Amino acid sequence: MNSEVKKASLKEIAEALSKVETDTLLVVVDSRVWQLYGKDLEENINKVLEANKKVLLYKTLEGEATKSMAEFEKGLEFFLEKGIHRKSHLVAIGGGATSDFAGFLAATLLRGLSWSVIPTTLLSMVDAGIGGKTGLNSKNGKNLIGAFHMPDHVWINESFLETLPETELNSGKGEVIKYGFLSQEIAELLKAKSDLSSIIEACAQKKEAIVQADFTERGERISLNLGHTFGHAIEKIYTMPHGEAIFWGMALIFKLYGTEEQLKLLRTFETGVGASFGQSPWFNKTFPVDKIIEYVSKDKKVKSNGIVQTVTIKEVGKFETKERTLDEIRKELEKEKDELRIFDF
Amino acid sequence: MNSEVKKASLKEIAEALSKVETDTLLVVVDSRVWQLYGKDLEENINKVLEANKKVLLYKTLEGEATKSMAEFEKGLEFFLEKGIHRKSHLVAIGGGATSDFAGFLAATLLRGLSWSVIPTTLLSMVDAGIGGKTGLNSKNGKNLIGAFHMPDHVWINESFLETLPETELNSGKGEVIKYGFLSQEIAELLKAKSDLSSIIEACAQKKEAIVQADFTERGERISLNLGHTFGHAIEKIYTMPHGEAIFWGMALIFKLYGTEEQLKLLRTFETGVGASFGQSPWFNKTFPVDKIIEYVSKDKKVKSNGIVQTVTIKEVGKFETKERTLDEIRKELEKEKDELRIFDF
């Protein structure tokens, strides 16, 4: 159960798609991506049509808005009404929200269709688009509904980044920084301020390797969760871009359970990927202990009542997990509360 | 990926549940079953509570009504609001609709929880409760949304059948008859008019064996579809109980593509299991060719535009599949239309 992850031009992608063993392609594309690239995409889709395939095109809402139950139902019925079959192949074109949503459609239409991803944001190229995690948001939290459903192909085409808004590019950089802690190779690339293209490639391959080793997240895959336990809470509380929230989630975890050196490295990697996250969202404000605990308690990773598995770093490339109770974490946060208010590093 | 399928008393089930490795049980029970057996079930659930497990109880709508997207969302949010975790275990108590619905909840809550089934109808004891097919109904057809998600345990307790309405018992018998064509052993049991208990046991084990050999329905599992291609259409057109519709689906397939002997055997098995389906729903009426074709065209089993994989029987215990176009089937039905009007066997 693994995906082929590789860089490809739109032309190469179209060629690959025309060779997929199916007569019906379900294309699920983010509506903003369609606005920007519809013409380019259509030209290439025509090549697929020439290969005698039927193409059904579905445009999602922009970003996370599409990951609702109502949109899910709309997407399902759209395709079911056309009379699709089990050998249909679905292609997701967009950011992480699009691939989460489209992948969940693929996982549940007729009890599962094969699918592929063309990630169009930095975040999805290095993380969300790879690894088969799919899903929707619940009223009770992000990504609480979903399935593991591995795509056959992930085609990375960096030309999409040219039109990516600055905040989204930055958000992706937050996740890129995470890989710096999980891989010596990527740490070196970041320290050397290498070009983004090489960094993306390395992150995507690292993610795919981790996922292949541990598809259902019982072992190494948990390392990808570095910064996410607090990060998801921060994302919600401050309505902040995902990767940026993960950056602050890592900062928090290093502050509580890590080292000064790790905090320093966090800034080094930040510079290395050309990001600048400035000061924490709670700087000079009351640190929101209760809200953090509330959101953490609803996280999927909370193992059983009150036990949270936190991911920390022993050294670059080596992670550690530890079980902590919500109460322990609350106490730790309460203790650091005043310091966190003025926390800078 | 296989289930433990076995007969068990409520007490034995409670004992087994108290040993499941989890601290949180999600119980999804059909509301009618709860009305009838709530007291018995509660007593046994108390034993589970004594084993220090949290029990979250969710009552579904009766029967197929629960397999809607709205109910699905309700069920998801009910459990998510309680703050469940990935090591939670879900238990479905009810007929096929309940296990379809509950299993899809288990498949999609936090991207997948383990689960078990206590089937309470004959249909679910011999078929729907076994094999991990889960799902919802779409506006465009039955079970078009769902997932393959294998239960850990299927506990068969025949005492539930004592309160099962006659029509539902009959419906289950329709599926039992199907197994007569798939297994020499079951054919013999039916010919000998064996007690229902032995027949149920044999059918349940046969289903589990087929599923184990072919989880995602690329080979032998397709044999379970005998009578279903037309059966699903008949079920919709005449709003008829599932198993009864499958009986007529088999009659139709034997009439079109089978032998006189198979039709005779169908009646032998019918008598053997103590059912009596009488005359076809289209007897003395116009045979609804267009509607049949319309529903068949939307069936999940329709491979690609217009190609239907039909299951027929070579001899008891040996099935055959053949690809036919919708047009071929339509022509065949048109040809037999007048004869079908008065078809009796």
**pLDDT tens digit sequence for A58-90:** 999 988 899 999 999 999 999 999 989 999 999
Q: A94 and A35: one domain?
A: yes
**Residue B327's pLDDT band (boundaries 50, 70, 90)?**
very high
A162, A189, A207 - which closes a domain: A162
Inter-chain CB proximity A87 and B303 less than 8 Å: yes
Number of CB pairs, chain A paired with chain B, less than 8 A apart: 121
Q: Which of A247, A248, A223, A246 lies closest to A322, judged by CA?
A: A223
Task: Out of B162, B193, B209, pick the residue that ends a domain.
Answer: B162
pLDDT at A181: 97
Tally the domains of chain B: 2
CB B75 within 8 A of CB B84: no
Last residue of a domain, one of B129, B162, B195: B162
* pLDDT higher than 80, residue A102: yes
Cβ contact (<8 Å) for B138 and A87?
A: no
Q: Where are the beta strands (DSSP E) in A125-264?
A: 133-138, 141-148, 153-156
Query: Is A113 in the same domain as A183?
Result: no
Q: B 66-105 residues with CB below 8 A of A?
A: 69, 72-73, 76-77, 80-81, 83, 85-87
Cβ within 8 Å, pair A138-B107:
no
Whether residues A148 and A176 share a domain: the answer is no
Partner A contacted by B237 (CB < 8 A)? no
Q: Are residues A77 and A156 in the same domain?
A: yes
* Rounded average pLDDT over B121-141: 95
The torsion defined by the Cα of B4, B9, B15 and B17, in degrees rounded to 10, comes to 50
Residue B310 burial (CB count, 10 A): 22
Pairing relation of β-strands A89-94 and A114-119? parallel
Give the span between the Cα atoms of A296 and A308, in whole angstroms.
Answer: 8
The span from the CA of A220 to the CA of A313, in Å, is 13
Is B109 in contact with A216 (Cβ distance < 8 A)? no
Say if residue B157 is in the same domain as residue B171: no
- Chain A residues with CB under 8 Å of B145 CB are 76, 80, 108-109
Phi, psi of A55 (to 5 degrees): -120, 120
- Give me the pLDDT at residue B345, please: 87
Do A194 and A270 lie in one domain? The reply is yes
Lowest mean pLDDT among A238-242, B98-102, B218-222, B334-338: B218-222
Same domain, B60 and B103: yes
Quickly tell me which residue has 């958000």 as its tokens: A171
- The reply to whether residue A111 touches residue B24, judged by beta carbons under 8 angstroms, is no
Same domain, A174 and A141: no
Residues of B in contact with A216 (CB under 8 A): 112
State the CATH number of the domain containing residue A335.
1.20.1090.10
pLDDT at site A139: 93
**What is the tens place of the pLDDT at every residue in B42-84?**
988 888 888 788 999 999 998 889 999 999 999 999 999 998 9
Give the minimum alpha-carbon distance from B308 to chain A in angstroms, rounded to a whole number. 10
Report pLDDT for A304: 64
Range of the domain at A195: 168-341
Please give the mean pLDDT across all residues of chain B: 94
pLDDT of residue B172: 96
Is the model's pLDDT at B215 over the cut of 80?
A: no
* Structure tokens belonging to residue A142: 């992000």
pLDDT of B137-148, one tens digit each? 999 988 999 999
Same domain, A80 and A208: no
What band does B121 get if pLDDT is binned at 50, 70 and 90?
A: very high
Using the Cβ of A344 and the Cβ atoms of chain B, whether some distance falls under 8 Å is answered with: no
A21 reaches B (C-beta below 8 A)? no
pTM of the model: 0.89
Coil/strand/helix, residue A285: coil
Say if A138 is an interface residue toward chain B (CB within 8 Å): yes
User: Which residues in chain A are contacts of B22 at CB distance < 8 A?
Assistant: 304
Tokens 């259902």 map to which residue? A216
How large is the greatest C-alpha to C-alpha distance in chain B, in angstroms?
A: 65
Q: Is B297 part of the contact surface with chain A (CB cutoff 8 Å)?
A: yes
Taking an 8 Å cut-off on Cβ atoms, the answer to whether B81 and A140 are in contact is yes
B140 touches chain A (CB under 8 A): yes
CB–CB of B111 and A69 under 8 A? no
Q: Which secondary-structure segment (H or E) carries A55?
A: strand A54-60
Given an 8 Å threshold on Cβ–Cβ distance, is B144 in contact with A110?
A: yes
Mean predicted lDDT score pLDDT of chain A: 94
Q: Given the structure tokens 């949304």, which residue do they identify?
A: B145
CB of A18 less than 8 A from some CB of B: no
Q: What is the pLDDT of residue A166?
A: 93
Tell me whether B131 touches chain A (CB under 8 Å): no
Q: CA gyration radius for chain B?
A: 20
pLDDT of residue B274: 95
> Has residue A332 got a pLDDT over 70?
yes
What is the nearest CA distance from B206 to chain A, expressed in angstroms?
22
Element (H, E) at A299: none
Round to whole Å and give the CA distance between A323 and B122. 45
Within this chain, do residues A143 and A182 fall inside the same structural domain, yes or no? Answer: no
Share of chain A above pLDDT 90, in %: 87
Of B29, B211, B221, nearest to B130 (Cα)?
Answer: B211
pLDDT average, residue stretch A171-196? 97
| Yes or no, beta carbons of B24 and A304 under 8 Å apart | yes
By DSSP bridging, strand B4-7 and strand B153-156 are parallel
Inter-chain touch B85–A302, beta carbons under 8 Å: yes
Secondary element (H or E) of residue A164: none
pLDDT band, residue A141 (cuts 50/70/90): confident
Regarding whether A173 and A130 lie in a shared domain, the answer is no
Question: Percent of chain B, pLDDT > 90?
Answer: 87
The string of pLDDT tens digits covering residues A311-324 is 999 999 999 999 99
CATH assignment at residue A130:
3.40.50.1970
pLDDT at B253 over 70: yes
Instruction: Mutate one of A23, A85, A133 to test the B interface: name it (highest B CB count within 10 A).
Output: A85
Contact: B147, A298; criterion CB under 8 Å? no
Cα B178 off chain centre by: 12
For B161-204, write each residue's pLDDT tens digit. Answer: 999 999 999 999 999 999 999 999 999 999 999 999 999 999 99
State the average pLDDT over residues A10-25: 92
Measured in whole angstroms, the distance separating CA B289 from the mean position of its chain's CA atoms is 25
CA–CA separation, B201 and B130 (whole Å): 12
Whose tokens are 């009618």? That residue is: B32
Partner-chain contact B145 A54, CB within 8 Å: no
Q: Does residue A225 share a domain with residue A144? A: no
Q: What is the pLDDT of residue A112?
A: 97
B125: DSSP letter: I
Sign of the four-CA dihedral B31, B37, B38, B43: negative
The answer to whether residue A133 neighbours chain B at the CB level (below 8 Å) is yes
- What pLDDT was estimated at residue B68? 97
pLDDT band at B304 (very low <50, low <70, confident <90, very high): low
Rounded CA gap, A98 and A215, in Å? 21
